[in-house]
Amino acid sequence: MKRKIRMGMVGGGRDAFIGGVHRMAAALDGEIELVCGAFSSTAEKSKASGEDLMIAPDRCYGSFEEMIEKEKLRADRMDIVSIVTPNHLHFAPAKMALLNGFHVICDKPVCLTLEEALELKELVAQTGLTFGLTHNYTGYAMVKHARHLIKEGLIGKIRKVIVEYPQGWLSFPVERDGSKQAEWRTDPKRSGVAGAVGDLGTHAENLAEYVTGLQISEVLADITSYVEGRVLDDDANVLLHFHGGAKGILTCSQISNGDLNHLNIRVYGELGSLRWTQETPQYLVHRSVDGQRIFEPSVGELSPVANAATRLPFGHPEGYLEAFANIYRNFARTVLKQGNGETPSEFDLDFPTIDDGIRGMKFLEAVIKSGKSNNQWVKIE
């Protein structure tokens, strides 16, 4: 039976940033309905935020515990819990949601430690519930097409990968000037052991592994906190070794002044290379000694997976929210079909899961360890 998936949200109240992104992404395709939320840390604030969102007051809860307890009792209860809080508040609601039979879609990094991530994986396995992680950048059609082309052998065996995620917005100590976003992201209690490496590096790692189909085997990292007084890293330069022999560079930064949100990747194979950059996500460039070709959504014959991630005819640019929405839509369709006893298609299942979360935590911990131990190679199991 076709029906809208009902979503409850943890976090995302007034002042938050990423909550609104999740809501727009979930709303875009008309397949998900926000029905309740524990938007803020108090019932009152949560209700105020819920009012903005036109959520019934009795479904605006003061805590995720309350939301889960009360929703469980409703016939029209939420199907999925979307967790959009700062990093340190991912684990507890995710765990409780799973334990109470709710599917979970969670912002990244999945939690604060690898240990927590492994516990969630265990719970997902036990409950059979669906767990999505919003590594949204893999939602772009041209990222999916790159993955497809590499799988098909277009550029041959991969030799080298350069993946970068530079931002510049923390070039100044804005965490001391009242930026809430900056505050929690630079605070080890709320962000975990990593700053830029957790916030951006894990996206870059996820993108690289998704596109290439390879796994990073070890890292050697030079990490820095450039801004005085900042405890967490705001920059990292990382050498990469992949299983199978490819090598690479990953750099992520919050002090690359003038870079906006410049995630980009270049993958070099024996026969050619592919390049993609998030700020103009509609272009995927293939280069080889024979020349240069640019792929664009809906132009010519593309992979089915790219087409499935595209909503518009060519020349009508889709952006960040559309890519984010692809994660939500695929997650929701998987939840719906499994609920209906149907088998999700390979396209439905194309969203990041707890396994991506675990990769991210392993990567993050290895980078920090290398950075703090005189730049030695650290293996990722």
- Shortest approach of a copy of itself to residue 299 CB, angstroms? 5
Pairing of strands 284-288, 273-277: antiparallel
Contact status: 15 vs a copy of itself (CB under 8 A): no
Q: Which stretch binds a copy of itself (CB under 8 A): 38-46, 65-73, 200-208, 293-301?
A: 293-301
Contact status: 320 vs a copy of itself (CB under 8 A): yes
Contact status: 254 vs a copy of itself (CB under 8 A): no
275 to 83, 204, 266, 286, 299: CA distances (angstroms): 32, 14, 4, 7, 17
Among 41, 215, 261, 345, binds a copy of itself (CB under 8 A): 261
Q: Which stretch binds a copy of itself (CB under 8 A): 88-96, 155-163, 182-190, 331-339?
A: 155-163
- Shortest approach of a copy of itself to residue 91 CB, angstroms? 26
Distance CA 173, CA 230 (A): 8
Q: Which of residues 347-376 bind a copy of itself (CB under 8 A)?
A: 375
DSSP-assigned letters across all residues of 189-245: HHH-S-SHIIIIIHHHHHHHHHHH---EEEEEEEEE--STT--S-SEEEEEEEETTS
Contact status: 184 vs a copy of itself (CB under 8 A): no
Q: Which of residues 221-240 bind a copy of itself (CB under 8 A)?
A: 222, 224, 226, 235, 237, 239
Residue linked to tokens 């889709």: 318
**Best CA proximity match to 254, nearest among 180, 174, 138, 193:** 174
Contact status: 337 vs a copy of itself (CB under 8 A): no
Pairing of strands 80-83, 216-224: unpaired
Q: Which residues contact 139 (CB under 8 A, 6 or more apart)?
A: 309, 322, 323, 324, 325, 326, 327, 351
**Best CA proximity match to 226, nearest among 269, 184, 200, 195:** 195
Contact status: 14 vs a copy of itself (CB under 8 A): no
Among 206, 253, 326, 353, binds a copy of itself (CB under 8 A): 253
Asked if 168 contacts 257 with a C-beta cutoff of 8 angstroms, the reply is yes
Contact status: 126 vs a copy of itself (CB under 8 A): no
Angle between helices 202-212 and 354-372 (to 10 degrees): 120
By beta-carbon proximity to a copy of itself, the closer residue of 20 and 62 is 20
Contact status: 199 vs a copy of itself (CB under 8 A): no
Q: Which of residues 31-90 bind a copy of itself (CB under 8 A)?
A: 34, 51-54
By beta-carbon proximity to a copy of itself, the closer residue of 96 and 158 is 158
Contact status: 115 vs a copy of itself (CB under 8 A): no
By beta-carbon proximity to a copy of itself, the closer residue of 189 and 314 is 314
Q: Which helix (H) or strand (E) holds 97?
A: helix 91-99
Distance CA 25, CA 23 (A): 5
Among 131, 295, 328, 363, binds a copy of itself (CB under 8 A): 295
The Cα angle at residue 229 between residues 223 and 233, in degrees rounded to 5: 20
Contact status: 144 vs a copy of itself (CB under 8 A): no
By beta-carbon proximity to a copy of itself, the closer residue of 1 and 73 is 1
Burial 16-47 (b: 16+ CB within 10 A, else e): bebbebbbebbbbeebbebbbbbbbeeeebbb
Contact status: 92 vs a copy of itself (CB under 8 A): no
**Best CA proximity match to 12, nearest among 88, 109, 84:** 84
Contact status: 279 vs a copy of itself (CB under 8 A): yes
- Shortest approach of a copy of itself to residue 278 CB, angstroms? 7
Six token digits for residue 264: 């980009």
Among 74, 316, 372, 379, binds a copy of itself (CB under 8 A): 316
Among 115, 151, 189, 280, binds a copy of itself (CB under 8 A): 280
Among 319, 340, 373, 379, binds a copy of itself (CB under 8 A): 319
